[in-house]
Chains A and B, each alone.
Chain A
Amino acid sequence: MYRRVSILLRKHFVSVLILCASIVIPFSSVKAADPAKGKALFQTNCASCHNVHKKLTGPALAGVEGRWADKKLLHQWIHNSASVLATGDKYANDLFNEFNKTAMTAFPQLSNEEIDDILAYIKVEEVKTPGGAKTPGGDTAPAGAEKGNDNSLLFGIITLILAVVALILMQINSNLNKLAGDKEGVPTPDPVPFYKNKAYLALIILVLFMVGGYLTIQGAVGLGRQKDYMPEQPIFYSHKVHAGINQINCLYCHAGAEKSKHAMIPSENICMNCHKAIKEYSGPELTTAEGKKVDGTAEIAKLYDYVGWDPEAGKYTKPGKPIEWTKIHNLPDHVYFNHSQHVVAGQQQCQTCHGAITEMDEVHQFADLSMGWCINCHRTTKVQFADNNYYSIFEKLHQDIKDKKIDSVTVEMVGGTECQKCHY
């Protein structure tokens, strides 16, 4: 009887192990808050004022949960900061004063679960080093960026330990069996060394196959994606200096963003509107990502060289030649993307997709520009439904709002996730 069980056990070892794993793995994905969702929400709602690591308009959000005494209060703060200030909470009022009494935008539309998603995302982000990897050229390695949170690591370790224990037990079991057999005089075959054991070999191959398959698919999915791509540009043009410190409106240079599918790299005559007068750089010291110092005045001189301007004489002395910028945000040919759709009709901020551009000396690609990233935003972003008369034809949705069946209309609800919105 005992033997039969052990044989059965041995026979079905692999399936047992898979069974164990299949029980363990789903557990690891059950978690209170979803950082992936939180990421999308963060980028839509928070990113224009907050960064996880850096102070922008608002405080850096790393460790935000720890700073608040009560999570409920934090929820309330995000829903409506004024109501928290009114309670006289010390931390809240200090914060308010620290940021020159700039009130945080109220987000009454965010549910507590959604806020928890955002907090989960911040938690995931805060362990990462600020800045992220910066790899010019193709970034084809599987991102694996979203490292499992603590729970999944824990479960993984437990699974591993259990597997080792099971392995040891099996070995003991087989040795005991052999001993028992020897004792009873039942001839038993010599034990097969574990590296020749077919069951083990099959298991190893299966595991290798699964891991290899996973990595291959991840790699294939990531092909052509260039998140964090930060190439060296012909002129060290700092968005931080122009759009951040000097507060030049994005649309002053990228005028196409309101009119066209292309935001447009500004033509050189746009640069010269200001740089005819601004010949020297006198702002904070500039450094490249590698830490090399940059002479701002020399970079302005490069512009003069391209455009054929003689700053001494104050006139154009030779024909201009175009600047060959390296394109950072590359969409595949089969995607139709229109800036004006998002900026004018959708009223989106540049930062939603391009990140904290006002903080970047050198621009890097903030979002991965994957289809999942687009779709996620289309699912959660609300259209200007009541304000834009274009949507007046959607009578049923207006009725639903009136009947309080829905409180707002997302891009998806007006067809924003259909294939031929972007592919034609």
Chain B
Amino acid sequence: MEQKKYWKGLEELHNTDAHQEIVKNEFSEELPFESEGLLNATTPRRDFLKYLGFTTAAAAIAASCETPVKKAIPYVNKPEEITPGVANYYASSYSIDGEYVPVVVKTREGRPIKLEGNTLSSITQGATSARVQGAVLSLYDTARLRFPSIGGTETTWAELDKQVGAALAGLGGAPVVLLSATLLSPTTKKVIGEFLAKYPNSRHVVYDAVSYSGMLQANEAAYGKRVIPSYHFENAKAIVSLGADFIGTWLNPVEYARQFAQTRKINAQKPEMSKLFAFESHMSLTGANADERYTHKPSESGAIALALLAAVGGSVTAPAIADKRVADGIQKAAKELKANAGKALVVSGSNDVNVQTIVNAINNIIGANGTTIDFASPSNYRQGIDSDMTKLVSDMNAGSIGAVLVLGTNPVYDYFESAKFAEGLKKVKLTVSFNERNDETTELCKYVAPDHHFLESWNDAEGRTGYYSFAQPTILPLFKTRAVQDTFLTWAGNTTAWADYLKNEWISKLGGQEAWDKALQDGVVEPAAAPALGGASFAGDIAGAAGKINSGKKGGKLELVLYEKVAIGSGKLANNPWLQEMPDPITRSTWGNYACISNKLAKTFSTQLGDDYEINAEKKVLKVKSNGKEIELPLLIVPGMHPEVIAIAVGYGRGEKVGRAAGGIGKNAYPFVSFNGQTFDYFTTDASVDATGTKEIVALTQTHNSYEGRPIVKETTLEEFIKNPKEVNEDRLELKKFGADFRKDATLYPNYSYPGIKWGMSIDLNTCFGCGACTIACQAENNVSVVGREEVAKAHEMHWIRIDRYFSGDEENPEVVFQPMLCQHCDNAPCENVCPVGATNHSSEGINQMAYNRCIGTRYCANNCPYKVRRLNWRDWNGADSFENNLYDVADMNDNLTRMVLNPDVVVRSRGVMEKCSFCVQRLQEAKLDAKKAGHPLKDGAAKTACQQACGADAIVFGNINDKNSEIYKIRNEMQTDRLYYVLEETHVLPSISYLAKIRNKDAAPKAEKESAHKEEAHHA
């Protein structure tokens, strides 16, 4: 197999001069990077002596200080279940914006410090996403509202209740409207119902910032149910995504990514996997993981759906698709769908009722209903109907609304005509916000009655009909907040406390206290046996929908599409430094949004890819105009973008009051949304772009840590894998010339045996979708620092596990590979040999250890690491050194409140110290200790790393390779011998992490063509 060429960015593909320069200099800046001039001073020797004298004196003074006296303060009355130093776990639910992820909360000394997926849930099965992992940090957000207020001044709950009660009574029959995001809690809805029943004409309007109204309405028209069905990707052999990023952001990605991963597990004994087609306008996470990917303009999504319907045998006349590649792709996808009828699924990200109707028709023809789509137990993930919202806004402006109560939604920021909403709000007599922070909408509300964070509250959630998950307080409320349900009950005149209300409700449903206790302990209540998947009879108006699509919005020369970033989503969790700093899976950018364009389009603004492009963090700023609105954003060239499309992420451009992390970062793209009379459109067709001449930093991590073209990713196609499973690892045969056992025979040094445990990890490139949950899980578990935009731009980011994204093929239609990269814990580690102080060395369990207190920060180890996984603390991110004013804190990460999220079993590192992945040694030690105390050998699966536990796709397997019954042993020696490889194995560094080669389910390209395509770049390799 010839070597395919992989590139992280276009500069690497074209091998620009600046790229060569950056490859040469691993540490891009000179030392000392913040105070120049010391070495150029006119009397450096004298200065040196002065500094020397001063520091010696300072050290002497510091050393003579008294040791501080510490206090040990026990409980007065220790709660029985708390043992200081031992974690407690409580089941809870993440149900923000309709996403449904049952979780388990790890608390230490009464502080929640980590969220894990709840494995008892059959829907998510323990999977999490980056946002779920990050949600624990939002609990300690310094920008949360701390007390109820009236007109901006603090008040008591009693006073607020009194005034709001009076205001409600004085409405004189004018309707009360509760405006909320999608709520999954049935009992909360019951409470709301009780409250609204008190007021005639009142109503509950559900508004989702990123709406799925089109889908709900299409399903209502076609199946008579205004619901979102449950999807079963795990049953699908052929999947077509029409712009639905179900792995990254669509509806409940945690659930779908896990299901999809089950169809991508493959080995030589069972060489079969699903095939995913993606048709989209910008490069999404789903597109990046697709076997076949095609790009089109957003205005063409209806035409593509129609063409696909026609191709699978629907009786419609589809408009011609101009792009031949896409037209061929549709035929190919249709062929695959028909061949797998009953095991096929089409999903669409469009919010257009007509497009969704056509998608329903396709699913009906290919037999998806009842097999991969379940209408018997539908999902509740989104419930907002767009026309309800627009009607509310016009009613408000007409002055006919008495009260607006805002719960967990922020229309002044994310409604497309936010000015109109704000204007209307002024005409409403009573405005109340229950939001957790002083966001754009809350600022305009007179009464602010902040709700608890979900980790402080009682709640339930019904993600899928009949599938319940519960939330219970894991910490006493940090502030003077009150559960919104308590507020409603009070205002409705019901004196029952919400906790009792919920309990009584469930005890009557479940039949007793014991069942309720068990439900709380498990966190979920699900049907004893999974109900049979239910189909539905399709009765949609295909011809009508087709007609409307054909006569709908005409495509323009340049179109704009809005999308959600995997980490930030709609923007509700925007003030989360972890999520802001998480590199976007595709663009590898942090802290902000930008205008994604293709290289072809970039050339028209003379931002040719060249020496000044990807190497410099500063990007040219574009003025993007559309719909009569305009915003200025830096451009970012993204391979795989349609050449006539600009993509901008929503969720940015928040006000300063939202918090230090989100405030002032990026621009708000929601104003580009439009209403088509039925639903919101998240694209425009009349975009235009001008260069402004200014530049702005986009903090990319993409060009950091270059491998200089060495082969580190392996992939093959399904066809080739079936033909010869061993082919993908042909180059490993080269190692045989060193002897039968490469480990022992290829070195002069004696082989070290690992007497007890030997830790090892395997990462499956076929099921790593690049979602980044592991990165944030690692950050939460290991107290990894947040460094901020400026420092990321200097390549100072601290993530212990990063997900390298490689493109291959041509830049307009590239293929993408994600490769999680973390310390490989080499048994022959190059970093260990060069440390002058022995701060990094090897353990008898195969862990490459890092003793922070020994490290003096020479960075020799980082220079010598072939995997580029070592991270230096360039600044004092944590206040860990004893000098005041040395702290570098961009996002309130060192506030006493925020620091409560720190894992007390892991130290924070000080400035000038190297750090890296430790294989979560604190978890390994804990698991070993538990086994020792119980007196049995360590069981497989008892020790899990944070990244492994967070991964919904189970791409990461970790364990003791000396244990012949462990999963990792079986993968390496039985299950996956064909796909298994080690990165840079030929260097004999003996990594402890093995990778499984990626397999693409696509037609094997003829070799000759492949070679000629890459010949021109051969000089680089």
Contacts and interface: CB of A to CB of B under 8 A. Distances in A.
Contact of A267 (B77, B756, B847): B77
Nearest to A222: B63
B67 A333 contact: no
B931 A390 contact: yes
A421 B931 CA distance: 16
Contacts of A390: 928, 931-932, 934-938
A72 B63 CA distance: 49
Interface string A321-355: 11111110010011010101100110000000000
Nearest to B960: A393
Interface in A93-113: none
A423 B852 contact: yes
Contacts of A393: 756-757, 937-938, 962-963
A311 interface: no
Interface stretch (B78-86, B327-335, B581-589, B862-870): B78-86
B922 interface: yes
Interface in B916-974: 918, 921-922, 925, 928-929, 931-938, 962-963
Given A223-B63, A396-B753, A424-B906, A389 B936 contact: yes
B466 to A, nearest CB: 40
Interface in A57-91: none
B740 interface: no
Nearest to B918: A424
B74 A345 contact: no
B894 to A, nearest CB: 15
Interface in B54-80: 63-67, 69-78
B922 A336 contact: yes
Given A137-B66, A219-B63, A390-B935, A261 B85 contact: yes
A340 B907 contact: no
Contact of B86 (A259, A344, A396): A259
A138 B66 contact: yes
B76 A307 contact: yes
A221 to B, nearest CB: 11
Interface in A392-421: 392-397, 414-415, 418-421
Contact of A138 (B67, B76, B78, B921): B67
A327 B73 CA distance: 9
B73 A415 contact: no
Contacts of B1004: none
A269 B85 contact: no
B844 interface: yes
B423 interface: no
A260 interface: yes
A266 B77 CA distance: 9
B74 A418 contact: no
Given A325-B73, A336-B922, A389-B935, A419 B755 contact: no
B708 interface: no
B755 A397 contact: yes
Contact of B75 (A322, A334, A423): A322
B contacts with A: majority SS: loop
Contacts of B73: 265, 322-325
A421 B925 contact: yes
A226 interface: yes
B950 to A, nearest CB: 19
B843 A420 contact: yes
B898 interface: no
Contacts of A244: none
Given A140-B67, A321-B76, A415 B933 contact: no
A156 interface: no
A323 B74 CA distance: 7
Interface string B313-354: 000000000000000000000000000000000000000000
Contacts of B40: none
Contacts of B153: none
B918 A269 contact: no
B72 A265 contact: yes
Interface in B212-263: none
B674 interface: no
B67 A226 contact: yes
A325 B71 CA distance: 6
A344 B933 CA distance: 6
A276 to B, nearest CB: 14
Given A256-B83, A415-B843, A389 B929 contact: no
Contact of B937 (A139, A219, A392): A392
Contact of A336 (B77, B78, B847, B905): B905
B942 to A, nearest CB: 12
Most chain B CB neighbours (cut-off 10 Å) among A223, A320, A390, A397: A390
B851 interface: yes
Contact of B69 (A231, A391, A397, A415): A231
Interface in A206-251: 219-220, 223-224, 226, 231
B906 A326 contact: no
A205 B171 CA distance: 93
Given A260-B83, A394-B755, A326 B70 contact: yes
Contacts of A392: 937
A220 B63 CA distance: 8
B847 A420 contact: yes
B845 interface: yes
B43 interface: no
A147 interface: no
A72 to B, nearest CB: 39
Nearest to A330: B70
Interface in B630-665: none
Contacts of A265: 72-74
A137 B67 contact: yes
Contacts of B896: none
A420 B849 contact: yes
A402 to B, nearest CB: 15
Contacts of B918: 420, 424
A215 B63 CA distance: 13
A420 B928 CA distance: 13
A392 to B, nearest CB: 6
Contacts of B757: 393
Interface string B979-990: 000000000000
Interface in B72-104: 72-78, 83-86
A386 to B, nearest CB: 12
B551 interface: no
A231 B845 CA distance: 41
Nearest to B109: A262
B853 interface: yes
Contacts of A34: none
Contacts of A394: 755-756
A388 interface: yes
Contacts of B688: none
A390 B930 CA distance: 10
Given A264-B74, A327-B70, A389 B63 contact: no
B465 interface: no
B841 interface: yes
Given A338-B85, A420-B847, 20 more contacts: A138-B66, A138-B67, A140-B67, A255-B83, A264-B83, A269-B77, A323-B73, A326-B71, A334-B853, A336-B925, A390-B934, A390-B935, A390-B936, A419-B851, A420-B849, A420-B918, A423-B851, A423-B852, A424-B907, A424-B922
Q: Which 4 A-B pairs have the closest CB atoms?
A: A260-B85, A138-B67, A267-B78, A320-B76
Interface of A: 137-140, 219-220, 223-224, 226, 231, 255-256, 259-262, 264-270, 306-307, 320-327, 330, 333-334, 336, 338, 340-341, 344-345, 388-397, 414-415, 418-421, 423-424
28 contacts: A138-B66, A139-B67, A219-B63, A255-B83, A260-B84, A261-B85, A262-B83, A267-B75, A267-B78, A270-B78, A307-B76, A322-B74, A324-B72, A326-B69, A327-B70, A336-B925, A340-B929, A341-B932, A345-B929, A345-B932, A390-B928, A390-B938, A392-B937, A393-B937, A414-B755, A419-B851, A419-B854, A420-B847
